[in-house]
Amino acid sequence: MGKKKVVQKAESAESEKIKDVSASVSRSSKQKYENGRIYIQASYNNTLMTVTDDKGNVLAWLSAGSLGFSGPKKSTPFAASKVAEAIVQKIQNSGPQNVEILVRGVGNGRDSAVRTLAAKGLNITSIKDVTPIPHNGPRPPKVRRV
């Protein structure tokens, strides 16, 4: 396989200016969101929180596992409150202040996460439980004949 030659092209001053402008535009494109949604998924194994804007674009997310909780400690109310505190700090500068909370799941962290979000100064407009509930379920098995 021999040696590979690397050819470097000299860039003009105009292309450098274009790169500088595009870099400054991308830094200033962080918007300040007024309204948003916070999705809380509380399962028996973990607690996840996702912050989105009105259109559904994800702004930030966090889970108890990503904060360093491991094993059965991830599903505790303490871990859920720590996740809520961390997510509020994460969205403090650009995140929404008026939030709609959608809770899914049956884990222990449901209530403590909502309480912590309210205590941290977010204006909660509504709280909805969107836990999926089966209506009829699958077809039952045949009757056993002995």
CATH fold group of domain 48-129: Nucleotidyltransferase; domain 5 (3.30.420)
Q: What is the mean pLDDT of the chain?
A: 84
Q: pLDDT-derived band of residue 9, with 50, 70 and 90 as boundaries?
A: low
pLDDT one-digit tens code per residue, 51-102: 999 999 999 999 999 999 999 999 899 999 999 999 999 998 888 989 999 9
Single pTM value for the model: 0.73
Secondary structure, 3-state, the chain: CCCCCCCCCCCCHHHHHHHHHHHHHHHHCCCCCCEEEEEEEECCCCEEEEEECCCCCEEEEEECCCCCCCHHHHHCHHHHHHHHHHHHHHCCCCCCCEEEEEEECCCCCHHHHHHHHHHCCCEEEEEEECCCCCCCCCCCCCCCCC
Q: Give the other-Cβ count within 10 Å of 110's Cβ.
A: 20
Who wins on pLDDT, 84 or 136? 84
Confidence at residue 10, expressed as pLDDT on a 0 to 100 scale: 65
63 in Cβ contact with 97 (< 8 Å): no
